[in-house]
Amino acid sequence: MAVYNYDVVVLGSGPAGEGAAMNAAKHGRKVAVVEERREVGGNCTHLGTIPSKALRYSVKQIIQFNTNPMFRQIGEPRWFSFPDVLRSAEKVMNKQVASRTSYYARNRVDVFFGKGSFADEHTIEVVDGSGAVEKLIAKEVIIATGSRPYRPADVNFSHPRIYDSDTILKLNHTPRTLIIYGAGVIGCEYASIFCGLGVKVDLIDTRDRLLSFLDDEISDALSYHLRNSSVLIRHNEEYEKIEGLDNRGVVLQLKSGKRLKADALLWCNGRTGNTDGLGLENVALHPNGRGQLEVDENYRTSVPNIYAVGDVIGWPSLASAAFDQGRSAAGNIVSNDGWRFVDDVPTGIYTIPEISSLGKTERELTDACVPYEIGQAFFKSIARAQISGEPVGLLKILFHRETLEVLGIHCFGDQAAEIVHIGQAIMNQKDGANTINYFVNTTFNYPTMAEAYRVAALDGLNRLF
Instruction: Confirm or deny that 186 is annotated as ligand binding.
Output: yes
Cis bond leading into 83, ω under 30°?
no
**Identity of the amino acid at 77:** P
Instruction: Confirm or deny that 402 is annotated as ligand binding.
Output: no
Burial grade of 91 (CB within 10 A; 0-12, 13-18, 19 or more): exposed
Instruction: Confirm or deny that 413 is annotated as ligand binding.
Output: no
Under DSSP, the state recorded for 300 is B
Instruction: Confirm or deny that 389 is annotated as ligand binding.
Output: no
Phi first, then psi, for residue 322 (nearest 5°) are -60, -40
Strand residue runs (E) in 128-238: 133-143, 147-149, 162-164, 177-181, 200-204, 232-234
Calpha distance 140→324 (Å, rounded): 18
Instruction: Confirm or deny that 294 is annotated as ligand binding.
Output: no
Instruction: Confirm or deny that 320 is annotated as ligand binding.
Output: no
Instruction: Confirm or deny that 44 is annotated as ligand binding.
Output: yes
Calpha distance 322→439 (Å, rounded): 30
Instruction: Confirm or deny that 37 is annotated as ligand binding.
Output: yes
Instruction: Confirm or deny that 14 is annotated as ligand binding.
Output: no
Instruction: Confirm or deny that 132 is annotated as ligand binding.
Output: no
Instruction: Confirm or deny that 21 is annotated as ligand binding.
Output: no
Instruction: Confirm or deny that 189 is annotated as ligand binding.
Output: yes
Task: Give the residue among 300, 338, 328, 295 at the shortest CA–CA distance from 314.
Answer: 295
Helices 49-67 and 185-196: crossing angle in degrees, nearest 10, is: 40
Residues contacting 140, CB < 8 A, separation 6+: 7, 8, 9, 305, 306, 307, 333
Instruction: Confirm or deny that 237 is annotated as ligand binding.
Output: no
Instruction: Confirm or deny that 344 is annotated as ligand binding.
Output: no
Instruction: Confirm or deny that 317 is annotated as ligand binding.
Output: no
Instruction: Confirm or deny that 53 is annotated as ligand binding.
Output: yes
For strand 31-35 and strand 110-113, is the pairing parallel, antiparallel, or unpaired? parallel
Instruction: Confirm or deny that 185 is annotated as ligand binding.
Output: yes
The Cβ of residue 87 has, within 10 Å, a number of other Cβ atoms equal to 11
Helix (H, G, I), strand (E, B) or coil at 455: helix
Calpha distance 41→98 (Å, rounded): 9
Instruction: Confirm or deny that 187 is annotated as ligand binding.
Output: yes
Contact predicate 349/188, CB 8 Å: yes
Q: C-alpha distances in angstroms, 6 versus 12, 134, 141, 303, 331?
A: 16, 13, 10, 18, 17
Instruction: Confirm or deny that 28 is annotated as ligand binding.
Output: no
DSSP-assigned beta bridge partners for residue 26: none
Q: How far is CA 14 from the centre of its chain?
A: 13
Q: C-alpha distances in angstroms, 202 versus 81, 337, 386?
A: 19, 48, 32
- Residue numbering of the annotated binding site: 35-44, 53, 116, 145-147, 182-189, 270, 311
- Residue numbering of the annotated binding site for NAD(+): 182-189, 270
- Residue numbering of the annotated binding site for FAD: 35-44, 53, 116, 145-147, 311
